[in-house]
Amino acid sequence: MIRAVLIDNEPLALHYFQNKLQAFQQIQVVKTFTRVETFLQELPALEFEAIFLEVKLNELTGLEVADIIKTDRPHVSVIFITSYQEFALQAYDIGGLDYLLKPINHARLEKAIARIEHEYSIQQLIQKASKTMLNVQCFDQFAAYSNNSLIAFKTEKTKELFVYFILHPNIPIHRDYLIEILWPDLDYVRAKSNLHTALSYLRKTLSNIGYANCIVFSNKYYIFEKPSILCDLYDFQRYYDDFLKQEFPHISLINQCLSIYKNGLLIFDDYEWATAYKDKLTKSYIDLLEKGFQASVLTDTTKALDFLNSLLDFDPYNEQKLEHYLHTLINAGLYEQAYRVFQDYEQKLKEDLALTPSSTLLEITNKFFIQK
């Protein structure tokens, strides 16, 4: 049974559509709403796999509601029911599964239900697989799980070798290079022996959880043949690739990437060989924040400020970002808050670097703050 939620600000339309869904035994309507505010209040406690919603609502648009849902619960199928054809492209960009125009005939609704069932079956398979598959977490603290149990590696070097393979799948890696980066201070003979030992431990660990043949050796090169696993790094790379392909990426895609990135890659593992990899991901993170700011600055001041806050947390002395921050606050009429931000920055700059703000920032101060 697929649990569904309905949202339409017209009670009669809501009742009519709920009656139409009664013809489909595979759909169970668990709750209906005429107000978005009420839905958002109850959302944390609601369990559902599909949502049908009108585009034109009162407090928020259906597109905005869908964006919230897909960010929080990407597995939920979103189906729009509306009389407005012009929002279809935006609906699909957000991740809508279907777009139904009122009045909805039975055949068209049947097709939409079939799509929901197909999506639901895929999600069920993914959930089932996640309980048995290897699940690797690279962002924040590195961890690997099998059957929801934490994998304990025989030695720290065994773990480090596995991390290296995870970060470099399907790439031939020379044996001597692994020796050099993992045991730089040991003589070659001893380091080579350590590599063979670590590989033996790692292969045994992987074999015990059903991944016996993913490390291949040929002509002095090792290849970690990327197996079917769950990995947050691979998810991030896939979403970020989608982000790069879009001239104007949607805010939900940006948020999806940022939610995976969290605080960064391998933040508790100081592997020198991973520095360049971390730096590359950091640049991607900054790119996401900047595009997030650009996408939201004209429509959502709060979100825009959140993106700028994150950028300034990462680079607190960046005057260009601070200028954007001040202008965003000023454009929103938040003069007192903008002035406090400037004062905090001025004090931090003086205490930490013994510097004063640039002439550009001082001009902003004179123009907007002193006159207010």
CATH topology of domain 297-372: 1.25.40
The set of long-range contacts for 10-15, using a CB threshold of 8 Å and a minimum separation of 24, is 10/34, 10/54, 13/54, 13/102
Q: Please write the tens of the pLDDT for every residue from 276-317.
A: 999 999 999 999 998 988 888 877 888 888 898 888 888 888
Strands 173-174 and 149-150: unpaired
> CA nearest 308: which of 293, 319, 291?
293
Tell me the CA distances in angstroms from 50 to 47, 85, 119, 134, 286, one per residue in order.
10, 21, 10, 28, 33
- The number of beta carbons lying within 10 Å of the beta carbon of residue 148 is 9
Return the exposure string of 113-122: e unless at least 16 CB atoms fall within 10 Å of the residue's CB, then b: beebbebbee
- Rg of the chain over CA atoms, in angstroms? 26
Residue count of the chain, please give it.
Answer: 372
Six-digit token string for 90: 């935006």
- DSSP assignments along 58-118, one per residue: SSS-HHHHHHHHHHH-TTSEEEEEES-GGGHHHHHHHT-SEEEESSPPHHHHHHHHHHHHH
Residue 175 pLDDT: 96
Q: Which amino acid type is present at position 134?
A: L
Q: Contact, 71 vs 252, CB < 8 A?
A: yes
Tell me the CA distances in angstroms from 292 to 131, 216, 252, 257, one per residue in order.
34, 41, 9, 11
CA atoms of 149 and 302, how far apart (whole Å): 39
Q: Please write the tens of the pLDDT for every residue from 315-351.
A: 888 888 888 888 888 888 888 888 888 888 888 888 8
Is-cis flag, bond preceding 316, omega within 30?
A: no
What CATH architecture is 133-281? Answer: Orthogonal Bundle (1.10)
- Residues in a beta bridge with 223: 216
Strands of the sheet containing 98-101, edge to edge, are 27-33, 2-7, 50-53, 77-82, 98-101
User: Residue 364: pLDDT above 80?
Assistant: no
Per CATH, is 2-130 categorized as 3.60.20.10?
no
Q: Contact, 25 vs 45, CB < 8 A?
A: no
pLDDT, greater one: 44 or 24: 24
Q: Please write the tens of the pLDDT for every residue from 106-161.
A: 999 999 999 999 888 877 766 665 555 789 999 999 999 988 889 999 999 999 99
Q: What is the mean pLDDT of residues 210-216?
A: 88
User: Residue 266: pLDDT above 70?
Assistant: yes
User: Residue 5: pLDDT above 70?
Assistant: yes
Domain spans of the chain?
A: 2-130, 133-281, 297-372
For 81, half-sphere exposure in the C-beta direction (CA atoms, 13 angstrom radius) is 25
- Residues in a beta bridge with 78: 51
Residue 78 pLDDT: 95
* Region of 291 on the Ramachandran plot (φ > 0 left; ψ -120 to 50 alpha; else beta): alpha
Residue 129 pLDDT: 57
